[in-house]
Amino acid sequence: MKSVNQHNRILRLFLSSLTFILLFSAQLSAQEIDSTQVRTGKKIFNANCASCHKLEKKFTGPALGKIEERRTNEWLKAWIKDNAALRATGDADAIAIFNEYNGSVMTAFPQLSDTDIDAILAYTTHGDIDKVVVAGGGEEVVEKEPSTAWMSYVVLAVLILLVLWIYFKSDNQFLKLVSTIALLLTVAYFGYQAMMGVGLDEGYQPIQPIAFSHKIHAGENKVDCQYCHSSAKHSKHSGIPSLNVCMNCHKSIAEVAETTQVMIGEEKLGKTELDLEIQKLYDAIGWDADNFAYKENYEQKPVKWVRIHNLPDFAYFNHSQHVTAGGVKCQTCHGPVEEMDELYQYSPLTMGWCIDCHKETQVDLKGNEYYAKIHEQLSKKYGIEKVTVAQMGGMECGKCHY
Amino acid sequence: MASNKKYWKSVEELNENSSIVEKLEQNEFASDIPTDQFLGDKEALASSETSRRDFLKYVGFTTAAASLAACEGPVIKSIPYIVKPDDMVPGVPDFYASSIADGFDFANVLIKVREGRPIKIEPNKLAKVSGGTNARVQASVLNLYDNNRLKGPKVKGADSDWATLDREVGEALNKLKGSDKSIVFMTGTLASPSAHKLIKDFIASYPNAKHVAYDAVSESAALDAYEAMYGERALPDYDFSKSEVIISIGADFLGDWQGGNFEVGYAKSRIPHHGKMSRHIQFESNMTLTGANADKRYMVKSAEQVQTLVAIYNAVTNGTKPANEAVAKAVSQLKAAGSKGVVVTGIQDKNAQLVALAINKALKSAAVDVMAPKYVRSGSDAKVSQLINDMKAGKVGALITYNTNPAYTLYNGAEFAEAQKNVLSVAFTMKEDETSTNAQYVAATPHYLESWGDVNMKKGHYSLVQPTIRPLFNTRQFEDSVLKWMGSSQSYHDYIKANWTTNVLNGNSWNQALHDGIFSKNVASVKVEQNNGELDELYSAPAANIAAAVSALAKRTASEGLELALYTKTGLGDGQMANNPWLQELPDPITRTSWDNYVTMSRVDAEAKGIENTTVSNGALDGNLVNVTVNGVTVENVPVYIQPGQTPGVIGLALGYGRKVGVSDNMKVGVNAYPLYQNFNTAQSVSIEKVAGNHEFACIQLQHTLMGRDEIIRETTLDDFINKPKHDWNPAPHVQMDHQNVALEKVDLWEKFDDSIGPKFNLSIDLAGCTGCGACVVACHAENNVPVVGKEEIRKSRDMHWLRIDRYYSSDMTVERGKEEGIFGSGSFFEAQTHPSDNPEVTFQPVMCQHCNHAPCETVCPVAATSHGRQGQNQMAYNRCVGTRYCANNCPYKVRRFNWFKYFDNDEFDYNLNNDLGRMVLNPDVVVRSRGVMEKCSMCIQMTQATILKAKKEGRPPAKDEFQVACANACSTGAMQFGDVNNKENTIAHLKEDDRTFHLLDFVGTQPNVFYQLDVRNTKEA
């Protein structure tokens, strides 16, 4: 086992040095282009053009990668600033491209200066120069914390040997008695632990039908939790987003960036795999990415996610109570979801866990008229400024069990 | 002081030697734990194959296996929408306004929909007319999820598709076009402007078509009478809140008389207000719900009812003093009340109905609204009889039935079924029934919660029916089919919308009407207070010949023999909901018996015929059987129930039972009484014959006995209420301490519970306003996932009703009077009770968990499964309960119910919880309890919590009277009120301070959060 680890480490070292060299060379070549211009161009492109154009692929409009090789700079400037005027001059190229896209009119951008357009064009020619840099830095070696489990095994083995020795070799009756008691206590302790663990699903991480990464969505792209889980603020259920919500973004995002990686279990998924995962979404809802349209008469197939957080039927939980009324952050119970590629159950979801929180959490009563009078009376009763959920009655059985 | 009356629930209690009553008073659970069965037989134990060691091995193995099995959790899938509807949030209910119009019940309702499933029917409080929901309307949501529903159309008995049905029926209809044979639509009362228009359109293109309306339980006489007098086929509307004297002659207007829905106005007049309440005098033969609520009830046979009516007419119009003393007293009160008096009758005779209308006209009765009549019944007996004759004579080519089941409900149903074979017969129905089995074409219709429609229940008041779920099966609305057969491509929705836009809405918004569910137009209605001169004019509509009617009635002579009075029950009504387990299990308000119909008979008649009711050792009731014969038609093996208050010489029998087709086996209960409903008359001359055999009733009247406590119910007379001090008729509780009589507040076992902060819920029940209708019981079933346990379990006192309506009988013989006459405490006191038991007074008292602040159940629970909440609710954590049942033993109110079995997914209890479709009605906010736990009323904590959460989210204090519970919400009379007493603005806070308020068994010191207002009876005669 160790040797394999070692081997891996050597391999990784080799690979990272190799990438470093590659990267260095890439940066070397990048020296020749005006990186500031390209970066400005990217910014302007993303702000103005990206909703209809991609570099490599046809989208609402044509692919713009290396467009300078196909059109002259003057023509492009004329087209971008006012394509209708260009077409009115009877420019054959302009009319041809207009007809190719079924007469859909491109927005005119008279506000873009020549410098801006040059920057955009630089970007379309050289592409994303920062991407490579990120790829080089992304190859980090993650050191796992060394496991301490072996220590407890050693201790246990020593103890067992000791007890065996006392039983078979020793004549000391007192020692035997003590060791028997110790043994029984140990067994009881472990037995109790094991029994208490029955039905506990902390860390439950089932395989989902789509390798969906919360890290990419909530973490890197900072999509608000409640953008997708929109019923959390209204309802007892947080709600799993319906596919049309996914499509709000994924209509435009048909593929991930080159460097995107997702860890599902021990498996690392790269662009090739992840693009296929997005394809699963399109298959479910019937989206034709090439023609940028929903397929007609398509038999849509719902996605059957595996539910991770399961409360028993006899426990009533309401998301909106906690999210809207209580102002609790999602991460309080669900953990650092924005760092999870593959989601797992972060909290034990036991009654003790609920109650602990209810005992400690102070209710923020400011700005909510519902609490105004209650707060005044309660703080007088308990002689305190702030009251906990439990003092508000959040520990009564019937509040969650009915 | 009326509270010293002796109350009893069952005649058995009047038998002082009854060991069963004594036993039930001692024991919470009627049957002992059957330890003797498995431990008593020593021999069997010794010879048993399983030794103690084996037993331990099995226990060890099963424990290990169970814990191993528990380690692996099930994988649960979560499947989101593909495209989520915008207005739908999973977990948040939507409400849609709609209406029910099934030909028998008409009401404006709100439908609660969760995740696209309708799960609860609520009253539409916007509606000024027919806004109440009775037990059947409340239960109608369960019919949607009936496993016996038709899944698609049928052609000649085989499953088919709509195209085939349309083609074949269309061809047949076209062939009939222009022939001398007619096409007949036979429907229940539709009261739908658009459906009527549609049928008219159909008749325009098929001139040989006609429409025959048919009501299973006919109000033809009243319709004929109104038509003769006012020129329109409709029923007068009554607002009893405007009357001070109500005389009813055989009209069960709190039941289904003329379409019902009169209880709202009635209850208003029954709650004493400024020292005034109505006086209600009832002349009737069966003990009805209305009679039970009356101040004075006279037992009269049908012929005497007619004489009474004529006597009242004569007295009112020309001052003739009635010969009968009781009638004379009633008339003098009626005349004194003038326009504040009203007379109604249920006699199925056009002349009688005419005379009743004439009396009200003479009185200028304010309660009667003849200008804006009701359309909730429309059937004509003559036309139905004519139709059957035509069918037999071969004059009918095609018969299209919809919303009706004549083969079952017609007294000559067999004749109808025979004649049905001669014609092309198309049956529109939701389930297979007696009529559809004989029809060549069965067109599956959707439930009203899946349909579009409109209803005109009362002149000027229109309602819309809208779908709240996509049709579950391959069904199509009757109206859509008719449109299709007419060659129209319009949908019925568009048809209604077009019709409303041109004929109803007057330029008002369709969307608003759809949102509200109702649309009202102004109709000049009769207002006595405003203009007396105008009133005369209004009342002088085309006059019918009243004199002729009176003389015809006067000729009626009393019959000597036994009479049969047919009636409909609160639960099943006309029988179209026979496959609804909630309704089957709903105990009849009067007899407290579920799952049955039976002959009700007076004690006198029963003794004469040697018929007995016996109470068996576990408290269940058995009865003898009789054969009932009317005009040569015999209904066999009908059980007899001896009913206090039944007129001697009259037996009663409920219609609507004994369905055989389209209902599950365990709901094929009772006997079909329709064959006895000859010529659509509820009063029949009858002969009975006792036959061998016993019938087991599912009767719960002896269960939850008073446990020897007499103070449980309180009532007083209006006289005492006005004239005497409060402590006289509603004394504050006292207890004995150190041999002193001290006020209850001075003594307490418990520490005071601080509940002044935040909301504190109380429920108020006004016994004066409660009619005992049972809507709350069904509403509780629907809201709280209460299981149906079935007839056998009910017999064993294992009913699961969280809310029961106790019915108490009482008589004039009070404890005081008994003491005065020196018979109290002796056998003759009971003797003296027995005779008044022939016509007892009746009081209803809904009892649910009283949510005691000092709850006896909480102190005895060994695992603290039941505990007290600061909001006043006594909370029950089912998952913590281990089923010791100590709590039920210690509850003074007997409201805790024990889950003896797993009632879901169990073939032994094959009701709605045993199939996927039926389970769709479950409320997802309330857990389904498992076997071995106690359950009880939670004071709808899921609803109060939801209201609190809504207020919190919106950042505001709860509004006035915002808190609701299912029972109070369903209570159309407003007798039940719920709310937060800590907010002094709320209605409930005022009610708590009311003089009539008392707590159940207050001297026990439990300090309940449910309180009652005592019943007041207007005993003033003349």
A199 touches chain B (CB under 8 A): yes
**Closest among B842, B839, B809, B811 to B646, alpha carbons compared:** B839
Name the amino acid, one letter, at A282. Y
Query: Residue B753 pLDDT > 80, yes or no?
Result: no
Residue B91 to residue A396, Cβ atoms within 8 A: no
Residue B79 to residue A201, Cβ atoms within 8 A: no
Q: Which of A370, A380, A387 to mutate to test the interface with B (most CBs of B within 10 A)?
A: A370
Chain B residues 698-757 with a CB less than 8 Å from chain A: 754, 756-757
Question: Alpha-carbon distance B121 to B110, whole Å?
Answer: 6
Nearest CB to B78; choose among A307, A325, A377: A307
User: B99 pLDDT band (50/70/90 cuts)?
Assistant: very high
Segment B179-201 mean pLDDT: 93
Query: Residue A390 pLDDT > 60, yes or no?
Result: yes
Closest approach of B776 to chain A, Cα-based (Å): 20
Q: How many CB atoms are closer than 10 A to CB A115?
A: 12
Nearest CB to A234; choose among B92, B877, B955: B92
For residue A84, what pLDDT is reported?
82
pLDDT digits (tens, 9 = 90+) for A237-269: 998 999 999 999 998 888 888 888 888 888 888
Query: Residue A187 pLDDT > 60, yes or no?
Result: yes
Chain B residues 44-63 with a CB less than 8 Å from chain A: none
Nearest chain A alpha carbon to B925:
A316
Q: Which of A227, A351, A396 to mutate to test the interface with B (most CBs of B within 10 A)?
A: A396
DSSP B298-319: EE--HHHHHHHHHHHHHHHHH-
Residue B92 to residue A235, Cβ atoms within 8 A: yes
Segment A168-196 mean pLDDT: 85
Q: What is the number of residues in chain A? A: 402
Q: Residue B24: which residues within 8 A CB-CB, separation 6 or more?
A: B30, B619, B702, B703, B705
Question: Alpha-carbon distance A174 to A159, whole Å?
Answer: 17
A299 touches chain B (CB under 8 A): no
User: B484 pLDDT band (50/70/90 cuts)?
Assistant: very high
For residue A147, what pLDDT is reported?
64
For residue B41, what pLDDT is reported?
66
Query: Residue A364 pLDDT > 90, yes or no?
Result: no
Nearest chain B alpha carbon to A393:
B870
Average pLDDT, chain B: 87
Q: Which of A199-213, A384-398, B844-858 has the highest mean pLDDT?
A: B844-858
Q: Which residues of B touch A312 (CB under 8 A)?
A: 879
- Measured between alpha carbons, how far is residue A167 from residues A173, A188, B360 in Å? 9, 20, 105
Three-class SS of residue A241?
A: coil
Question: Alpha-carbon distance A96 to A70, whole Å?
Answer: 14
Chain B residues 544-603 with a CB less than 8 Å from chain A: none
Segment B903-910 mean pLDDT: 91
For residue B70, what pLDDT is reported?
59
Q: Which residues of A touch B867 (CB under 8 A)?
A: 396-398
For residue B737, what pLDDT is reported?
81
Segment B583-610 mean pLDDT: 92
B984 touches chain A (CB under 8 A): no
Query: Residue A219 pLDDT > 50, yes or no?
Result: yes
Q: Which residues of B touch A237 (CB under 8 A)?
A: 90-91
Residue A381 to residue B953, Cβ atoms within 8 A: no
Alpha helix segments (H runs only) across B562-676:
581-585, 603-609
A285 touches chain B (CB under 8 A): yes
B941 touches chain A (CB under 8 A): yes
For residue B287, what pLDDT is reported?
92
User: Is 0.90 exceeded by the ipTM?
Assistant: no
Question: Alpha-carbon distance B1009 to B852, whole Å?
Answer: 6
Q: Which residues of A touch B945 (CB under 8 A)?
A: 399
pLDDT digits (tens, 9 = 90+) for B625-679: 999 999 999 999 999 999 888 999 999 999 999 999 989 998 999 999 999 999 8
Segment B971-978 mean pLDDT: 93
> Would strands B77-78 and B841-847 be described as parallel, antiparallel, or unpaired?
unpaired
More confident call, B761 vs A202: B761
Residue B927 to residue A402, Cβ atoms within 8 A: yes
Query: Residue B538 pLDDT > 50, yes or no?
Result: no
Question: Alpha-carbon distance A234 to A239, whole Å?
Answer: 10
Letter string b/e over residues B737-754, b meaning 16 or more CB atoms within 10 A of that residue's CB:
eeeeeeebeeeeebeeee
Q: Are B614 and B622 in contact (CB under 8 A)?
A: yes
Any idea which of B179-193, B312-326, B844-858 has the lowest mean pLDDT?
B312-326
For residue A27, what pLDDT is reported?
45
User: B71 pLDDT band (50/70/90 cuts)?
Assistant: low
Name residue, tokens 């949908």.
Answer: B491
For residue B36, what pLDDT is reported?
62
Chain A residues 103-162 with a CB less than 8 Å from chain B: none
Chain A residues 321-350 with a CB less than 8 Å from chain B: 321, 324-325
Segment B174-200 mean pLDDT: 92
For residue A37, what pLDDT is reported?
84
pLDDT digits (tens, 9 = 90+) for A23-80: 444 444 444 677 888 888 888 888 888 877 877 777 777 888 888 888 888 888 888 8
Q: Which residues of B touch A201 (CB under 8 A)?
A: 73
Farthest-apart Cα atoms in chain A, separation? 112
Q: How many CB pairs under 8 A join A and B?
A: 157
A307 touches chain B (CB under 8 A): yes
Nearest CB to B79; choose among A198, A244, A304: A304
Nearest CB to B952; choose among A206, A242, A370: A370
For residue B179, what pLDDT is reported?
86
- What percentage of residues in chain B have a pLDDT greater than 70? 90
Q: Which residues of B touch A243 (CB under 8 A)?
A: 80-83
User: B703 pLDDT band (50/70/90 cuts)?
Assistant: low
Residue B869 to residue A399, Cβ atoms within 8 A: yes
pLDDT digits (tens, 9 = 90+) for B438-465: 899 999 999 999 999 999 999 889 999 9
Both tokens of A142, joined, read: 């993650």
Segment B389-414 mean pLDDT: 92
Nearest chain B alpha carbon to A327:
B953
For residue B988, what pLDDT is reported?
93
Query: Residue B834 pLDDT > 60, yes or no?
Result: no
Q: Residue B616: which residues within 8 A CB-CB, separation 6 or more?
A: B20, B622
**Closest among B453, B373, B462 to B128, alpha carbons compared:** B462
Give the E-state strand segments of B141-200 in sequence order.
Answer: 154-155, 158-159, 182-187
DSSP B621-650: EEEEEEEEEETTEEEEEEEEEE-TTPPTTE
Question: Alpha-carbon distance A73 to A65, whole Å?
Answer: 14
For residue B533, what pLDDT is reported?
39
Query: Residue B544 pLDDT > 60, yes or no?
Result: no
Both tokens of A205, joined, read: 């991480």
Question: Alpha-carbon distance B460 to B231, whole Å?
Answer: 17
- What percentage of residues in chain A have a pLDDT greater than 70? 87
Q: How many CB atoms are closer than 10 A to CB A259?
A: 15
Query: Residue B819 pLDDT > 90, yes or no?
Result: no
B323 touches chain A (CB under 8 A): no
Segment B734-761 mean pLDDT: 82
User: B331 pLDDT band (50/70/90 cuts)?
Assistant: very high
Segment A182-199 mean pLDDT: 85
pLDDT digits (tens, 9 = 90+) for A82-113: 888 888 888 888 888 888 877 777 888 888 88
A198 touches chain B (CB under 8 A): yes
Q: How many CB atoms are closer than 10 A to CB B156?
A: 10
Closest approach of B792 to chain A, Cα-based (Å): 28
More confident call, B230 vs B195: B195
Question: Alpha-carbon distance B425 to B403, whole Å?
Answer: 14
Nearest chain B alpha carbon to A369:
B956
Question: Alpha-carbon distance B315 to B47, whole Å?
Answer: 84
Residue B927 to residue A201, Cβ atoms within 8 A: no
Q: Which of B952, B954, B980, B985 to mutate to test the interface with A (most CBs of A within 10 A)?
A: B952
Q: Residue B754: which residues within 8 A CB-CB, separation 6 or more?
A: A381, B870
Q: Which of B927, B930, B956, B984 to mutate to test the interface with A (most CBs of A within 10 A)?
A: B927
For residue B552, what pLDDT is reported?
83
For residue B818, what pLDDT is reported?
63
Chain A residues 346-385 with a CB less than 8 Å from chain B: 367-374, 377-378, 381
Nearest CB to B956; choose among A235, A310, A369: A369
Query: Residue A16 pLDDT > 70, yes or no?
Result: no
Q: How many CB atoms are closer than 10 A to CB B1014?
A: 22
